[in-house]
Amino acid sequence: MRAALDELVAARLRAGAAVPAFTCYGADTALAVVAAAEDLDLPVILLVAPATAAAPTGPKLIRTLRSVADAAAVPVCVQLDHAKDEAVIRSAIAAGADSVLADGSHLAPSDNATFVRHVRSFATGVVVEAELGSVPGAEDRAVELSADDAGKTDPGEVESFLGSSGAQLLACGVGNVHGRYQGKPALDWSLLAKIRHHAGNVPLVLHGASGLPAADLRAAGAAGVGKVNINTELRTAMLAAIEENVAGFRAAGEDMLSLAGTVAATATGVARDLLTTLAGGNPV
């Protein structure tokens, strides 16, 4: 069922929980993630990477995810992730995305705010997330980074940035990275608390959650993080399932149906575990 992302996240935060957002490169992943959410009666977000959205088939995929979301028995949002190109943003919205991360994090804070405000001016009825303080790494590839590589958000810039940009959610850098963590991840909880203080009622977003300890994910909601983005963990598990099973199903007569079912079951299992962890023991 359709849900407004900001309202959904705010409701989960009141329960001390966060909503996971899973990157979907195809409808099979989306269906597997939604199956897990329906089993647990929990909301979920389907993410579309900017490179996927910009491809010739991108709008068709977004329309497909919109259909999957609307037919779900639980609240499901469709979000365009890390979008820097206005044309891609407009196309994704026209195809059915109900939220977009207008990513100006590579710009100076004032220019970032101007970009986000511009997106808000034409994204009628669409929830706009912003990022302040760059979260390093690659969204679509498993680049390995250490906590020392992580960009940080300056809490002193948060209040003015939100006032200028009109962002409805704020992704921040507190030691998190996209891809894989080299060594033990080390989130800066004191910095997160300062960012939360300056953000007021605007929910925070944590990108690069794959590989974070379960205890960190369980603590996210209580720390003001209402949305958590996941890509690497889900993608790695699905690729491993293909590698481990493709030879057997090829030998069994090129059984694509069984291979697809195995990969989908793997994705559902990963999504189920992360949905449960981020619920913090507080289901809807």
What is the rounded distance in angstroms from the CA atom of residue 47 to the CA atom of residue 217? Answer: 19
Q: What is the C-alpha to C-alpha distance for residues 207 and 205, in angstroms, rounded to an integer?
A: 6
Write the DSSP string, the chain: ----HHHHHHHHHHTT--EEEEE-SSHHHHHHHHHHHHHHT--EEEEE-HHHHHSTTHHHHHHHHHHHHHH-SS-EEEEEEEE--HHHHHHHHHHT-SEEEE--TTS-HHHHHHHHHHHHHH-TT-EEEEEES---S-SSS--EE-GGG--B--HHHHHHHHHHH--SEEEE-BS--SSEESSS----HHHHHHHHHHHTTSPEEE---TT--HHHHHHHGGGTEEEEEE-HHHHHHHHHHHHHHHHHHHHTT--HHHHHHHHHHHHHHHHHHHHHHHHTT---
Instruction: Tell me which of 81, 98, 140, 216 is the catalytic residue.
Output: 81
Examine the residue annotation and report whether 103 is marked as an active-site residue of this protein: no
Residues marked as catalytic: 81
